[in-house]
């Protein structure tokens, strides 16, 4: 009897729209919830109001995403008649709504209908992502999920992005990711309204794109000797050792992934990193170096050798003209990224051809020679109908006239470029480098430096004192020296990219850290259903150690997430919520060797158990800040 009564109350609650919590990410511009719900059933029809291929593709995608976990195959129609009483309507506005731009949308959900409208198909696509987030988390399941009711709360939503460039970069040179992995990564991006996928395709450790004019770029440059362990500490290639680790994308693979991204309203920006970071290219074609080689594709060994293309050799630019020409034909985006970062100029200073170039062009420094190189590459890129993007090092020695600067060494490069009238994309290390630690190094997979989730959320891509119109947007970057698999790429990307998604899309004045944490946690439940990996480091405390003169080591613990309680032990026992509660900075008992901590919220375990050696804290306390 009690079970029957509970079922009736649950059904009544669903029909009245009681307690159906909304946790959208990124947060929309405005959201108003009303009483009631729209219940999905096999009788619901998806209507796209114009017989247009882009609208049909969005409608078909919505149909498929609903069918997989619910088992309901909703019918599709491109016009609505009186026989259709309950429907999801996708429509383009007859007259453009000036508030929405190209990517905004309005979404209205009532008991009888769902109406999604936009000026452009991209807006309908982003509105569909919001619609899916209104459904229970199990909608992301790969198999049929058992739900009592599939329903959407009645809402009115107005939404549009703050920035037009909302990017993530994946480095596939340091570790190769097969095209199916790349597609899966793109799928995850699309759900959170990212619209740029920056594909870092070449570096010292691998050349990943087929160039038919230069087949050795992939037959030689895409492969290195296998190594496992800590990056930059690997043994160098040994004589005769086979190079079996790597891979590359054929031009057909590239076209397939580009189309896959376009179907999800994501623009792919290819990066061919020159003149530095070119050891894989030089291993294939050493004649484009200053010394002539020989070279090996670097497997992750520390090196100080030559890895830059020769700036004094005219054949270098003939090579780049052919490479960039093939790249331009494969990627419809208006941009090609030329890298330009961390160029080792030492060999240029010794190279007779480079020195002659400096003399002929009246260049006074190696930095000006790099600027000359960038301007030559810019002309090649422009000749292919594209625009140049480069890392902020391209500012050194003078900036190419039409270049867009991607600022990674802090905000300064972007500020300098913007003050010179150039468009900028902000991706500073301290806010946007997803390869950094996101929790204490004692418990996290090995990498370097630190970027906590809350720091990502505090990022503002518009520096003070510049024209905001020159800021195209921002981007998170995942370098993969320490990221060998897609599962770990997911772990490093999420939830920090939830924060970046909201930074790039939502109005700045709506920034709300406690609210974001709640929304992010709701999204991780969706990722559980989708079997996507993510980090839970946000629940782990940060350690600060200070060596006091009289009392010895003083340890302060802090947490990012509101409402967490930290428990600890010094006696080598495993802590739980019956252990001592952290309430004030701790002095280390004499002879204690480890501080073990764990976090709870509302009586439930949420954080990792961390065993922090006192010796490590003493080391940190002694480091210069």
Q: What is residue 476's three-state secondary structure?
A: strand
Question: Is residue 563 domain-resident?
Answer: yes
Residue 576 belongs to domain with CATH number? 2.60.40
Per-position DSSP letters for 307-360, written without gaps between them: -S--SS-HHHHHHHHHHHHHHHHH--SSEEEEE--S---HHHHH-HHHHHHHHH
- pLDDT tens digits for 371-394? 999 999 999 999 999 999 999 999
Can you give the pLDDT at residue 81?
74
- pLDDT tens digits for 531-578? 999 999 999 999 999 998 777 899 999 999 999 999 999 999 999 999
CA torsion sign for 494, 498, 503, 504 is positive
Q: What is residue 620's three-state secondary structure?
A: helix
Question: Is residue 78 domain-resident?
Answer: yes
Question: Is residue 114 domain-resident?
Answer: yes
pTM score, whole prediction: 0.95
**Nearest CA to 343 among 323, 370, 364, 322?**
370
- Percent above pLDDT 70 for the chain: 96
Secondary structure of 2-59 as H, E, C letters? HHHHHHHHHHHHHHHCCCCCCCCCCCCCEEEEEEEEEECCCCCEEEECCCCHHHHHHH
Question: Is residue 183 domain-resident?
Answer: no
**Nearest CA to 187 among 129, 269, 130?**
129
Question: Is residue 176 domain-resident?
Answer: no
Question: Is residue 30 domain-resident?
Answer: yes
Domain boundary among 109, 126, 159: 159
Domain that holds residue 587: 540-622
Question: Is residue 32 domain-resident?
Answer: yes
Q: From the CA atom positions of the chain, what is the Rg in Å?
A: 27
- pLDDT tens digits for 255-312? 999 999 999 999 999 999 999 999 999 999 999 999 999 999 999 999 878 999 999 9
Contact of 406 with 392, CB cutoff 8 Å: yes
- pLDDT tens digits for 145-180? 876 689 999 999 999 999 999 999 999 999 999 999
Domain boundary among 124, 159, 194: 159
- pLDDT tens digits for 218-232? 999 999 999 999 999
Whether 14 shows a pLDDT value over 50: the answer reads: no
Can you give the pLDDT at residue 472?
98
Catalytic residue numbers, as ranges: 342
Question: Is residue 515 domain-resident?
Answer: no
Contacts of 379 (CB under 8 A, 6+ apart): none
Residue 59 belongs to domain with CATH number? 3.30.379.10
- pLDDT tens digits for 597-610? 999 999 999 999 99
How many Cβ atoms are within 10 Å of 329's Cβ, its own excluded?
12
Number of structural domains the chain divides into:
2
Whether 63 shows a pLDDT value over 70: the answer reads: yes
How many Cβ atoms are within 10 Å of 211's Cβ, its own excluded?
25
Domain boundary among 131, 159, 187: 159
């Amino acid at each position: 009897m009690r079970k029957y009564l509970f079922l009736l109350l649950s059904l009544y609650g669903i029909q009245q729209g009681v307690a159906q919590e909304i946790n959208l990410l990124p947060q929309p511009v405005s959201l108003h919830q009303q009483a009631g719900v729209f219940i999905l059933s096999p009788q619901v029809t998806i209507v796209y109001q114009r017989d247009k291929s882009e609208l049909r593709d969005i409608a078909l995608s919505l149909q498929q995403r609903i069918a997989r976990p619910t088992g309901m195959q909703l019918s599709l129609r491109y016009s609505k008649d009186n026989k259709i009483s309950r429907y999801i309507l996708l429509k383009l506005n007859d007259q453009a709504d000036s508030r929405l731009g190209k990517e905004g949308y309005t979404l209205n959900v009532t008991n009888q209908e769902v109406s999604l409208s936009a000026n452009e198909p991209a807006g309908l696509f982003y509105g569909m992502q919001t619609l899916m987030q209104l459904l229970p988390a199990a909608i992301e399941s790969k198999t049929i999920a058992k739900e009592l009711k599939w329903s959407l709360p009645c809402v009115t939503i107005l939404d549009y992005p703050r920035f037009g460039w909302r990017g993530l970069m994946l480095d596939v040179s340091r570790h190769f990711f097969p095209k199916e992995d790349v597609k899966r990564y793109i799928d995850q991006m699309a759900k959170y309204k990212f619209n740029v996928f920056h594909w870092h395709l070449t570096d010292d450790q691998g050349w990943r794109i087929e160039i038919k004019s230069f087949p050795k770029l992939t037959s030689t440059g895409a492969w290195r000797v296998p190594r496992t362990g800590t990056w930059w500490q690997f043994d160098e290639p040994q004589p005769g050792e086979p190079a079996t680790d790597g891979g590359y994308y054929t031009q057909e693979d590239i076209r397939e992934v580009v189309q896959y991204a376009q179907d999800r309203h994501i623009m792919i920006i290819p990066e061919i990193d020159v003149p530095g970071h070119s050891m894989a290219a030089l291993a294939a074609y050493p004649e484009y170096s200053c010394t002539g080689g020989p070279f090996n594709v670097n497997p992750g060994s520390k090196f100080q050798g030559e890895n830059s293309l020769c700036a004094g050799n005219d054949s270098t630019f003939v090579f780049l003209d052919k490479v960039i020409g093939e790249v331009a034909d494969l990627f419809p985006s208006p941009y090609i990224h030329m890298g330009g970062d961390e160029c080792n100029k030492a060999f240029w200073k010794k190279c007779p051809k480079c020195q002659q170039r400096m003399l002929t062009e009246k260049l006074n420094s190696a930095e000006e020679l790099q600027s000359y190189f960038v301007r030559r590459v810019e002309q090649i890129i422009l000749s292919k109908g594209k625009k140049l993007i480069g890392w902020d090092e391209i500012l050194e020695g003078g900036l190419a006239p039409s270049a867009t600067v991607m600022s990674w060494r802090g905000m300064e490069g972007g500020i300098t470029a913007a003050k010179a009238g150039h468009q900028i994309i902000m991706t500073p290390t301290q806010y946007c480098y997803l390869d950094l630690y996101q929790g204490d190094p004692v418990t996290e997979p090995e990498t370097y430096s630190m970027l906590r989730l809350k720091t990502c959320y505090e990022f503002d891509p518009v520096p003070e004192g510049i024209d905001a119109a020159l800021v195209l947007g921002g981007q998170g970057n995942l370098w993969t020296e320490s990221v060998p698999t897609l599962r770990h790429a997911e772990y490093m990307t999420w939830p920090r990219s939830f924060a970046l998604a909201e930074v790039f899309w939502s109005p700045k004045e709506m920034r709300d850290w406690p609210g974001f944490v709640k929304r992010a946690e709701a999204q991780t439940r969706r990722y559980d259903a989708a079997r996507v990996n993510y980090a839970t480091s946000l629940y782990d405390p940060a350690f600060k150690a200070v060596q006091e003169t009289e009392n010895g080591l003083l340890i302060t613990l802090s947490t990012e997430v509101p409402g967490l309680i930290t428990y600890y032990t010094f006696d080598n026992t495993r802590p739980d919520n019956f252990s001592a509660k952290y309430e004030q900075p701790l002095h280390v008992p004499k002879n204690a060797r480890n501080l073990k901590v764990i976090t709870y919220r509302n009586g439930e375990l949420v954080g990792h158990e961390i065993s922090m050696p006192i010796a490590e804290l003493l080391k940190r306390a002694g480091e210069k800040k």
